[in-house]
Amino acid sequence: MFEGFPLLLLILSLLSNSVSCLRAEHSSFNIQRLPPNIIKNKGDGRGGENGYRQLTPSECDSLCKNWCRKIGLLDNVHKMELYEMLNVIEDCSRVMPGNKPQRKELLAIGELQDGQIHCISMGYLVKVTCPWELQVLALAQLQIDHSTELMVQYLRDLCIEHACVPDYSYLHRWSMFENKPWVKSSTVADQKSSKVDRVALLYQRFNAAPSIVLDDHSIPKISTYWFKTSIQHDKLPSLKTSLFWRQKRSSWDEFELRFSPPIAGVSSGYGTVGCHVIIDTDDAMVDMGWFGISDSSAEYARIVSMLIKSRIYHPDDVLSLDL
């Protein structure tokens, strides 16, 4: 009865290897294939690596210990701030993921010169927002030169390649970055985003129901995509926030509502998992036919947006916010 058992084990082993290969191939941030590629020197037998690549946890740990020894006495601001960033990098490297894709993951990128790491950045890749965000937690180099700017340019190209937004607001706490325009612009954008989030939270509390049923029961099936429309406060016309809605599959006249962007794995649905397709009904130039939505359904989608907005309550507390 056990004659076919070895064959079964072989088949299971092959399937396991295939799944592992697929996971590796679908890694979301393939640093090594992006320009500038690592160039290995040849000729003298010593050589090394030149360029940018993702670093392993062991490389980060070794680098931090080596640089901390070279810093020596913390007798100036630059050394103290560099020491703090190395602590951040070391702590983050301990929880860096393996080769399996994660919804949120830490990754370290290094600039190598002749095999030695000259500059290092630690980023927190958030893949549950739309678009993705790369929050740069540390950007360190032992000797101050132009490598920081080159690393920023590389991160910019990297984010463009992966449709990602870099966020440098975390670096604002260190004085060595206070005059960097890319940090200032990121900080301003972060402050603006926080104000929008506060307004959205007020609307969410004032409109506690997670869904709404419209009186028009003749509404047809529109789509499984999320739709977006803007809401203007009655007493403060200059203040706007976004409302996201989606038609429920069980009842076509019932709609799920959110005042913050839907997140894959939390508010999921066909057309939003992974790619976060959100159709703006306020934009008359949006071609919904590209998403497979007919002209009649597109018209219903815009009508539904207007009907839902008429049922939204506007919080009075928004006038007390310092905006």
What is the model's pLDDT at position 316?
A: 77
Q: What is the residue-averaged pLDDT of the chain?
A: 75
What is the model's pLDDT at position 132?
A: 80
Beta strands in 78-115 (DSSP E): 104-113
Q: Is the pLDDT of residue 147 over 80?
A: no
Which neighbouring-strand residues pair with 232? 240
- Residue 140 CA to residue 201 CA, distance in Å, equals 36
The domain made up of 29-186 has a fold known as: Aminopeptidase (3.40.630)
Q: Where are the domains of the chain?
A: 29-186, 204-320
What is the model's pLDDT at position 26?
A: 37
> pLDDT tens across 251-296, in order?
888 888 888 877 654 444 444 544 457 888 988 888 888 778 888 8
Q: Is the pLDDT of residue 146 over 60?
A: yes
- Residue 127 CA to residue 267 CA, distance in Å, equals 14
Q: What is the per-residue burial (b if ≥16 Cβ within 10 Å, else e) of 4-15?
A: eeeeeeeeeeee
Least reliable range by pLDDT among 75-79, 132-136, 163-167, 190-194: 190-194
Closest to 64 (Cα-Cα) out of 140, 152, 125, 123? 140
* Structure token digits, residue 231: 């809401």
- Residue 255 CA to residue 309 CA, distance in Å, equals 12
Least reliable range by pLDDT among 94-103, 106-115, 187-196: 187-196
Query: Is-above-0.85 flag for pTM?
Result: no
CA angle 201, 203, 208 (to 5 degrees): 95
- Residue 38 CA to residue 132 CA, distance in Å, equals 25
What is the model's pLDDT at position 88?
A: 92
Q: Is the pLDDT of residue 66 over 80?
A: yes
* Structure token digits, residue 80: 């103290």
- Helix (H), strand (E) at residue 250: none
CA distances from 219 to 182, 300, 307 (A): 48, 7, 12
* Structure token digits, residue 162: 């992966």
What is the model's pLDDT at position 172?
A: 83
Q: What is the dihedral of CA 28, 32, 158, 104, to 10 degrees?
A: 30
What is the model's pLDDT at position 284?
A: 81
- Phi and psi at 34, nearest 5°, equal -95, 150
